[in-house]
Amino acid sequence: MTDSTLDSGGSSSAPQEAQFSEEDVLTVFGDRSDAARPLTANDVMDELGCSRRTAHNKLNALVDRGVLETRKVGARSRVWWLPIPNSGAPAAESAPVAEPAVDTEVANAELPGSGELLKQRREALQAAYDYVSDHPNATKSEFLTEVFPDYPAGCKTADEWWEIIEPALTDLPTVDVETDRGHVWRFVKG
């Protein structure tokens, strides 16, 4: 073989593969109906009509640039995807979100009354839950002095209020009462 029969890649004069840019690979990620599904090198190879090696090289270059993410999914398989942008705030600093189970439990709690009175009692139950969430070792007297005055729920006395709120509070998720320690109410993270 003479030098004139070799192309720039050092192989014989077989047809040269078309050149593909990293942007061509990104187009494969953007031009599909299911943007959430990760792609394989075969997906990119089939879409662009390039070799597996070219697909791998371009995908890995995009990972190195931070444009794509990848992970191994089997002994010899790997997938790539476009990462979802982060809002910048760590999850711990985002606004607190009430647990849906608690909202549902408060809304369905068996409390006496109807209409506006029942609404006030549900608000009192939610306030008691919020209090124990913020004060994980709350006592009955703390509920009566800290929550009852702002959320009397139609009750004339704190004891009457406690008889209504206490059973429903016990039924809420992540709330536990330690009877062996003088009825200390605990907020237990799910």
Quick one: pLDDT at residue 170?
82
pLDDT attached to residue 188: 52
pTM over 0.85: no
Q: How far apart are CA 42 and CA 105, in angstroms?
A: 49
Q: Does the pLDDT of residue 187 top 80, yes or no? A: no
Other residues' Cβ atoms within 10 Å of the Cβ of residue 181: 10
187: which strand partners? 175
pLDDT: which is higher, 180 or 128:
128
Q: pLDDT tens across 29-51, in order? A: 888 877 778 888 888 899 889 88
CA 29 to chain centre: 23
- Of the candidates 22, 4, 26, 24, which has an alpha carbon nearest to the alpha carbon of residue 13? 4
Q: Which residues contact 133 (CB under 8 A, 6 or more apart)?
A: 174, 187
Answer whether 174's CB lies under 8 Å from 188's CB. Answer: yes
Report the b/e string of 126-141 with b at 16+ CB within 10 A: bbbbebbbeeeebebe
pLDDT digits (tens, 9 = 90+) for 90-133: 544 444 444 556 788 888 888 999 999 999 999 999 999 888 88
Question: Taking CA 8 as the corner, what is the angle to CA 7 and CA 9, rounded to the nearest 5 degrees?
Answer: 90
What does the alpha-carbon distance between residue 45 and residue 78 come to, in Å, rounded to a whole number? 14
Class of domain 19-81: mainly alpha
Walk across the sheet containing 184-187 and list its strands. Answer: 137-139, 184-187, 175-178
Q: What is the pLDDT of residues 137-166, one digit of tens each?
A: 888 899 999 999 999 999 999 999 999 999
